[in-house]
Amino acid sequence: MTWFILAGLVAIALYFTLLNARIAWRLPARGDTAPDFTLPDQNGRIRALGEFRGKWLVLYFYPRDDTPGCTEQAMRFRNTMRDFEKLGAAVCGVSVDDSESHAAFARKHNLPFALLADRNGEVAARYGSLRNFGVFKFARRNTFLIDPDGKVSTVYVGVNAAKNAQDVSDTLRNLVTA
């Protein structure tokens, strides 16, 4: 009898895990209106999707501040910022870390762009970029290029931290100069 109860509990847990994974993987597609967000940045300033209307937005999701891959990705975006600015684009990083963690990360690596604190993972989930293991949540390494009208232009899934900034810059250059 105990075995059946245990098997039932495992089946229920598996069902909810798969349901959560299915919901979390609903990525916005090219041409979709970008999901709205309102989140604090590393300075406590509230940032919203609407403030980027009229310009391109690179919205990249990353797992954790100050980890090796996330640091490399952020520094490559930092090093490519002039290119993004010349192309009329802003860059925002998003993770489930808090604003204080983002502030320390930005100071340590001289990051000139907004790092948005998605503490409960709601925005990451709307962008199909949340890994939710119950107590532990973190963002998947996905990037979204959003056009000046607020539409998703390009989706990068499971990106390579070392190549992401250059890939997005190349795509944006092609879109802007076409």
Closest by CA to 70, choosing from 134, 115, 37, is: 115
- The per-residue pLDDT for 26 is 85
Would you tell me how many other CB atoms lie within 10 Å of the CB of residue 92? 21
Which of helix, strand or coil describes residue 154?
A: strand
Q: How far is CA 56 from CA 6, 29, 81, 91, 177, in A?
A: 51, 16, 13, 9, 13
pTM for the predicted model, two decimal places: 0.86
| Distance between CA atoms of residues 174 and 178, nearest Å | 6
pLDDT band at 17 (very low <50, low <70, confident <90, very high): low
Domains of the chain: 27-177 (3.40.30.10)
- Catalytic residue chosen out of the listed positions 58, 59, 70, 139: 70
Structure tokens at 45: 């300033």
C-alpha closest to that of 105 among 45, 46, 43, 161: 43
Could you tell me what percent of the chain has a pLDDT over 70?
86
CB atoms within 10 A of CB 103: 18
Residue-level pLDDT at 48: 98
- Is residue 92 annotated as part of the catalytic site, yes or no? no
**What is residue 25's predicted lDDT score, i.e. its pLDDT?**
56
146: enclosing H helix or E strand: strand 143-146
Q: How confident is the model at residue 2 (pLDDT cuts 50, 70, 90)?
A: low
Give 171's pLDDT tier (boundaries 50, 70, 90). Answer: very high
Higher-scoring residue by pLDDT: 24, 69: 69
pLDDT at 19 over 50: no
Would you list the DSSP string of 76-90? HHHHTHHHHHHTTEE
Asked whether the beta carbons of 172 and 85 are under 8 A apart, the reply is no
Dihedral sign computed on CA atoms, order 48, 63, 69, 42: positive
